[in-house]
């Protein structure tokens, strides 16, 4: 049961000039299932990405990193079912064969193709079936293929995740559309968070690289379901340059600001959708830390709270358990934290209540207020460290019986 | 349901010359419950301890640290029911008043008393009821009080935890007895891991301080149930010096080696008992990492595996899920880890099987072997990083429906 998330309306998903998407049933792991997505980019598109830090980095991620460094990317190919991770040299060969097949089909070079895989790890990718499905995916290529692609990249997600919006940049309308998948930072063997955002803005490669890192930091790198990091996580931003705006080449000015705001907004909404569809989730929680000496310590505190199984089970029970929140802040690893100065609020979209100050429960806090706030499914824990000006927000979900059920019962 | 842990036989718990223990029902939080323990130490005893790193350090922990620095400790007083944490200045006053009352009763100074509290946090300690119970605890003081004390320090533990053994040191028999409590690193509001070990060896204060840090590192600091660190965690080692051995003053020689081995052994068994009694535990897991460049990176890898909710739920399901284990190793934070060189074994007390090598599943591994191993309740994950000579082992338990149930349903 996803938290305040529903299937997007296909009419709300906007074509991005320069981008066409097609899906097919390739029978990668199961029959009668759309499991192959091809994304074709117009010549001149710029592409940037960030990838998993996991040392068990999947074969397609290794190939992506190599190809993206070469530039001039013209196609993305995404399969579900098999993650092609933990597969050694033969896994690399499979990812390269996939790129070669896409290149043949589209008349481009293999180095201009980025491959992505998500699904069971430690199993070989059936390249023959994947390649056999490519012509059908190519035949299905269309500018309004975002809705289908959002479905075709799902593994155990309960809902497709897609977002579009427009923004004015240099007097032109820039369109952004994106899709994401993932229902935990990693599913049992069904690994992977994937995020793809395309826009038609004209922006230099250097700025696009800067923007993808910042957007990832503020979105996909600010969520957690269970603290596990997958072997295949990838976030890709595409700029086709067809909107007609004057190319943005400096990280300054209103054009840059508008594009930056819009891209971060789309990325955050796609990332939050993953948490809303988190395994067994019944609550969506924002952990907003302010007053830190730097952003890194704010993130430490936010993640300590967001990862605490005790906090997460308390939120599942709608229990405003201050002790667990304070204890998590206390062990976040800030050696000189003055607990006497920090303050904590619990909130929902209707109200926010100061619950802790001076090293303990706030004098004004009554349990009824806490219970009233926790009855909501959208919750905020706001923490003021009173040490500086830095901020960070992390989004997570609660920890329910269903989380254990999903992860204990799952068999690949 | 504890994993391979039973109530100790009272006859197996040995008196330690110089140590007497007494318990009482003080009605701290609930009536008709032994909730107060007094431990009296003979003059000349040496005491050392390590305490929680949580910044929300409870009042009694703050007082303990101050008093232990002054030396000449003669008594320990432990209450359950209320943790006296997150209680500010009045909490400190309550802990100091407790020490003063014990000192009056025993004719010693308040600074010679160490106070410990465990139970609900953010609630005031009822000092009057605690003090009123002290004469009865004093009247109950006896050398063979270990079994009663193991019961009286329990909160939500399902079983008492106590261990005794002897060791020959310098031609004399040294006796060690210890008790511990804790059923998670922290219980909902019932915070705290406590461990107390006493021996009658004669050992210098400097070496005792060194030994308590080493023993804590290899025992209580090598366990995890849920990754949460309590506000009150304390581990105390007492050496009364009454065994008659020549005082050990150097960290060398057979006397030191014998005492060190015995103290670490007792500490490890007490720490493991906490994991065996972990919330909802059905499996006891040793994560043994070897071949590390240093101990710290071995611990990082072991804790990444031990903390992964995905690994823990897989073990609950008796699922030999290699992908989750490899992914956890991969995100442990060792930037230059060569996953192609590492090897992983799964084992139980009967057999051990190589499951992963060369970056993926071992060619020799068959799922039946994994399933056979996982059918046991005592499991080992052995990981060879193939980078050096360092080792570290961490003990943990699985993650079950009952963990969520206990932590979501619990109301203080």
Structural domain boundaries in chain B: 10-276, 284-409
Mutate: best of A337, A361, A408, partner B, most B CBs <10 A: A408
Residue A139: strand, helix, or coil: helix
Per-residue pLDDT, B183: 66
**In whole angstroms, what is the distance from residue A142 CA to residue A38 CA?**
10
Residue B327 DSSP SS3: helix
DSSP-derived secondary structure letter, B14:
P
Spatial CB neighbours of B359, under 8 Å, sequence gap ≥ 6? A56, A86, A87, A88, B339, B340
The residue of chain A nearest to residue B412, with distances taken between CA atoms, is A321
pLDDT in tens, A313-339: 889 989 888 888 998 898 898 989 998
Alpha helix ranges (H) inside A87-154 = 88-106, 127-139, 146-152
Nearest residue in A to B57, CA atom: A330
User: B121 and B231 in contact (C-beta within 8 Å)?
Assistant: yes
Question: Can you identify the CATH homologous superfamily of domain A284-409?
Answer: ArgJ beta chain, C-terminal domain (3.10.20.340)
Mean pLDDT of A70-74: 95
Mean pLDDT of B264-272: 93
Is the pLDDT confidence value at A190 over 70? Answer: no
What are the tens digits of pLDDT across the range A222-238? 887 766 667 788 999 99
Q: Which residues of A touch B324 (CB under 8 A)?
A: 186, 188-189, 228
Residues in B 228-257 with any Cβ partner in A closer than 8 A: 228-231
pLDDT of residue A221: 87
Does the pLDDT of residue A114 top 50, yes or no?
yes
d(CA A114, CA B241): 70
Partner A contacted by B403 (CB < 8 A):
yes
Burial zone of B391 (CB within 10 Å; 0-12 exposed, 13-18 middle, 19+ buried): middle
Contact B309/A at CB under 8 A: yes
Lowest mean pLDDT among A74-83, A382-391, B380-389, B395-404: B395-404
The residue from A80, A98, A192, A380 that is catalytic is A192
Strands (E), A84-193: 113-120, 161-169, 172-181
Report the alpha-carbon distance of residue B18 to residue B238 in Å, rounded. Answer: 10
Give percent above pLDDT 90 in chain B.
74
Of the ranges A229-238, A342-351, B63-72, which one carries the lowest mean pLDDT score? A229-238
| A309 CB-near residues (< 8 Å, 6+ apart) | A399, B226, B227, B228, B309, B399, B403, B407
Looking at the predicted structure, is the pLDDT value of residue B352 above 80?
A: yes
Cross-chain residue pair B404–A408, CB shorter than 8 Å: no
Other beta carbons within 10 Å of A400: 23
B329–A56 C-beta distance less than 8 A: yes
In this structure, the strands spanning A390-397 and A223-224 are parallel
Name the residue in chain B with its Cα closest to that of A407.
B313
Q: Do A10-276 and A284-409 share a fold?
A: no
CB < 8 Å from B in window 110-129 of A: 120-122
Spell out the alpha helix ranges (H) of B146-204. 146-152
What is the structure's pLDDT at B228? 63
Structure tokens at A328: 């998590």
Residue B168: CB atoms within 10 A of its CB come to 14
Residue A402: what pLDDT? Answer: 81
Q: Which residues, 6 or more positions from A42, have their beta carbon under 8 angstroms from its beta carbon? A: A17, A18, A19, A240, A242
Chain A residues touching B322 at Cβ < 8 A: 86, 122
Contacts of A399 in chain B (CB under 8 A): 309, 404
Q: Does domain B10-276 have CATH number 3.40.50.11310?
A: no
When scoring B52, B282, B314, B360 by the number of chain A Cβ atoms within 10 A, the one with the most, hence best to mutate, is B360
b/e string for A1-28 if b means 16 or more Cβ within 10 A?
A: ebbebeebeeeebbbbbbbbbbbbbbbb
> At what angle are helices A88-106 and A127-139 packed, to 10 degrees?
30
Contact B354, B343 (CB under 8 A): yes
User: Residue B236 is encoded by which pair of tokens?
Assistant: 């105390």
Sign for the pseudo-dihedral over CA of B407, B408, B410, B412: positive
Taking contacts as CB-CB distances below 8 angstroms, the residues of chain B near A307 are: 227
- The mean pLDDT of B361-390, rounded to a whole number, is 95
Tokens encoding A217? 């930091």
Q: Annotation-wise, does A279 bind a ligand?
A: yes
* B408 → closest Cβ in A120, A316, A411: A316
Give which of B53, B54, B55 to mutate to test A binding, by max A Cβ within 10 Å.
B55
Nearest by Cα to A158 from A166, A150, A170: A150
Segment A119-178, tens digit of pLDDT: 888 889 999 999 999 999 999 999 999 999 999 999 888 899 999 999 999 999 999 999
Contacts with B59 from chain A: Cβ below 8 Å: none
Tell me the three state secondary structure of residue A195. Answer: strand
Whether B202 and B248 have beta carbons less than 8 Å apart is answered as yes
């Amino acid at each position: 049961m996803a938290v305040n998330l529903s299937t997007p309306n296909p009419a709300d998903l906007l074509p991005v000039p320069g981008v066409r998407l097609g899906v097919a049933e390739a029978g990668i792991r199961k029959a009668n299932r759309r499991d192959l997505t091809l994304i074709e980019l117009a010549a001149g598109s710029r592409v940037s990405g960030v990838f998993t830090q996991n040392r068990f980095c999947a074969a397609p991620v290794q190939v992506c990193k190599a190809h993206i460094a070469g530039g001039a990317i013209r196609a993305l190919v995404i399969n579900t079912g098999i993650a092609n991770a933990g597969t050694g040299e033969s896994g690399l060969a499979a990812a390269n064969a996939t790129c070669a097949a896409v290149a043949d089909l589209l008349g481009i070079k293999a180095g201009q193709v980025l491959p992505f895989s998500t699904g069971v790890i430690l199993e070989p990718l059936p390249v023959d079936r994947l390649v056999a499905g490519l012509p059908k995916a190519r035949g299905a290529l269309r500018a309004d293929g975002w809705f289908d692609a959002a479905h075709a990249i799902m593994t155990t997600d309960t809902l497709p995740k897609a977002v579009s919006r427009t923004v004015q940049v240099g007097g032109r309308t820039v369109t952004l559309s994106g899709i994401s998948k993932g229902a935990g930072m990693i599913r049992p063997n069904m690994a992977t968070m994937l995020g793809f955002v395309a826009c038609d803005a004209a922006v230099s490669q250097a700025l696009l690289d800067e923007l993808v890192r910042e957007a990832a930091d503020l979105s996909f790198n600010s969520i957690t379901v269970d603290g596990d990091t997958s072997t295949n996580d990838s976030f890709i931003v595409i700029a086709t340059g067809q909107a007609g705006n004057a190319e943005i080449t400096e990280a300054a000015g209103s054009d840059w600001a508008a594009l930056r705001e819009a891209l971060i907004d789309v990325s955050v909404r796609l990332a939050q959708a993953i948490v809303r569809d988190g395994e067994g989730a019944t609550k969506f929680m924002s952990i907003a830390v302010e007053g830190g000496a730097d952003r890194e310590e704010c993130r430490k505190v936010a993640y300590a709270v967001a990862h605490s199984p005790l906090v997460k089970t308390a939120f599942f029970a709608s229990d405003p358990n201050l002790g667990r929140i304070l204890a998590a802040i206390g062990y976040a690893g800030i050696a000189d934290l003055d607990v006497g100065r920090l303050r904590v609020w619990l909130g929902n979209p209707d109200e926010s209540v100061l619950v802790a100050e001076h090293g303990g429960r706030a004098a004004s806090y009554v349990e009824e207020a806490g219970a009233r706030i926790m009855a909501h499914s959208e919750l905020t824990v706001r923490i003021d460290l009173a040490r500086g000006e830095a901020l960070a927000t992390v989004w997570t979900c609660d920890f329910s019986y269903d989380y254990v059920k999903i992860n204990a019962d799952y068999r690949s």
